[in-house]
Chain A
Amino acid sequence: MRLKRKDILTIEDLDRDEIGLILSTAESFKEVSDREIKKVPTLRGRTIINLFYEASTRTRTSFEIAAKRMSADAINISASSSSVVKGETLKDTAKNLEAMNPDCIVLRHPSSGTPQILSRLLRCSVINAGDGAHEHPSQALLDLLTVKQRFGKINGLKVAIVGDIAHSRVARSNIYGFIKLGARVSVAGPPTMMPSGIDKMGCGVCYNVEDAILDADVIMMLRIQLERQNGCLFPTAREYSRLFGLDSKKLEKAKKDVVILHPGPINRGIEISSDVADGEYSLILNQVKNGVAVRMALFYLLLGGSRE
């Protein structure tokens, strides 16, 4: 099986069946990571370039490990070590990389839409590893996989996404993904973090975290970008944490079998308290583990031939 598309740019583009195929493929790859020899030969001879214009140890490492476990050759290029800082344009970078004939470029970029623009310039596959405040499809896929493993389904679940929705690509991809698979999604946070028209994306909006998590099956806490608060979307980290952060007291009102996700890296004591992050409801480390499986599945479904 392969996906009938060149690129993975957004969850918005993917249909239900494609998401289902990616999740079931990822499920089948999970055991590879538990083997002693964590490698399958499927993508031997394929070249994957991780082109990261933004620092992200976690996502980059996950893509790199996924590529290597599929036996592909993975090369990392980051903005600080490439000609990017010397002012080479995206187009020139793309053309130069293409000349080296890679099979896939994994792109992380601070400007929304750049993977789309790049994919139009390149013959090889492009996987969006997060673009601006637009989408982060592999993150949403690993979140879906994590929730599906726990509940056996996505359909009918209630998902609360809490935090800076306006600047979050994780939120957008998850809104599309969970709604496509039949969950009900609500977003919560201060109004300064709600983007215009968010209610028209099919999710509920609420400004009170207690209300949002009351009957949620899944609570997804988003990372607060403390370094980006030049616009001061909230008065102080202290007030944010008290009103909008998740702690064990707020969690008392949630469902008994609720699960908590966080795309990481977490700001302990700000959007999530340590006891909750490390506690029994947290699936944060499952997410990380599933990240590798989902990315293996994406490589396989875009680049793979027949699988033995």
Chain B
Amino acid sequence: MKRLLIKGGRVIDPASGIDGIFNVYAVGGKIAAVKPHVQTPDSGPQSDDWDIIDAAGLIVCPGFIDMHTHLREPGYEYKETIQTGTMAAAAGGFTSVACMANTNPVNDNASVTRYILKKAAEEAVVKVFPVGAISKELKGEMLAEIGELKEAGCVAISDDGRPVISSALMRLALEYAKPFGLLVISHSEDIGLAADGVMNEGLISTKLGLKGIPNAKEDIMVARDIALAELTGARLHIAHISTKGAVELVRNAKQRGVNVTAEVTPHHFTLTDEAVVGYNTNTKMNPPLRTKDDIDAIKIGLQDGTIDAVVTDHAPQSIDEKDVEFDNAANGIVGLETALPLLLRLVSEGVISLSALIEKLSANPAKLLRLGGKGKLRVGADADITVIDLNKEWVVDAKNLKSKSRNTPFDGWKMKGRVVKTIVRGKVVYEW
């Protein structure tokens, strides 16, 4: 029986309301006990029975759960694989990732889900939870086999990468998913409003001569999706919220009792559209980097609970897809390995507490995806644990990322705070 003791760290477990110096005991991959740390030499287990991690001065918290990752396998193994993507996850403190369905073939039927889970069982470093497609081949025409996707192990459905353009189909998806208890994750954009936009619309896009994407492109679809969630009573989750208006729409809907939740990525509140000046294609993503006004609204949304979860939208792209003209470059950035220090800036700025941040990285995603036994350090829960050194300073070097792709706008950034150990089911899978 594997036995692990994490000794003397500041344990923060929002799900149990714990924040203090504790010892965490894990046996057989499960949390066996969380006990106050007493500094007497002969109390506690002996080192030959237990693997002991001295966590003095470190944060010990439930392993992070990324609700929004693109692992790219099957089909785009040149960008990322289940193995490399989960290695990147481990390096970022994520012990579980939910992988989006826009693979090739699309994860729109149980056989693809089973393939992903089989590969994950063989090669993944952290736990993989597939997200199934809403529509067949992400075409937005016919529902995917949502019931079978759920049976095969999908934890949510989403056509992420593109919106469900037809309101009728989105309504059907919400209704149909309801009895299965599946979260419907919406990539909300009104494509037609600015189909060829490549960055946020505003002074910067005008100066750069790049086609703009107005906030309304997102706001319109979020408003529609909320109306449909209200109509159906289903569980709607807004992916990668980026605009002030969308935050406001979600806040109002929640106040009315609509079953809607939302997530945000670190880059959407760290960078503005000014980062695009110079045409670095690693600043191209969808939704695009917005403005300070939007960032301020997102921060308030994180503060007041409008935004439930923080996700990476880890979107690996090969150098050949990024090292081209800005218009022709692929969207997205890798995010798993840079998320935590960017998020910790919110804590040092006083936007949210460390505990609230950890909640949005663990307990809340576990709740939204209904992952029993995850996102908490309670006795009997999976021993998925992340250990953080808040003061560790380091520099991002894209060359050294665990991900197979290097598309990060944060290359060379000086970061403070990093994951020093990632533990999945009682086993250390990453060490700094």
Contacts and interface: CB of A to CB of B under 8 A. Distances in A.
B294 to A, nearest CB: 14
Contact of B326 (A113, A135, A166, A196): A113
A195 B209 CA distance: 9
A134 interface: yes
A50 interface: no
B229 to A, nearest CB: 31
Nearest to B325: A111
A196 B205 contact: yes
B177 to A, nearest CB: 36
A132 B207 contact: no
Contacts, number: 71
A239 B432 CA distance: 67
B371 interface: no
A282 B327 CA distance: 36
B288 to A, nearest CB: 13
B395 interface: no
Most chain A beta carbons < 10 A, residue from B207, B211, B320:
B207
Interface string B181-222: 000000000000000000001111111111110100000000
Contacts of B204: 197
Given A89-B320, A116-B278, A134 B209 contact: yes
B279 interface: yes
Could you say which interface size class chain B belongs to?
20 to 34
B104 interface: no
Given A89-B320, A196-B212, A111 B205 contact: no
B206 A196 contact: yes
A111 B210 CA distance: 8
Contacts of B324: 89-91
Most chain B beta carbons < 10 A, residue from A114, A135, A166, A195:
A195
A214 interface: no
A69 B231 CA distance: 72
Nearest to A168: B209
B327 A197 contact: no
Interface of B: 201-212, 214, 278-279, 320, 323-328
10 contacts: A90-B325, A112-B208, A112-B327, A113-B209, A113-B325, A195-B205, A196-B206, A196-B212, A197-B204, A201-B207
Given A12-B207, A91-B323, A201-B207, 8 more contacts: A112-B208, A112-B210, A116-B279, A117-B326, A131-B209, A135-B209, A196-B205, A197-B204
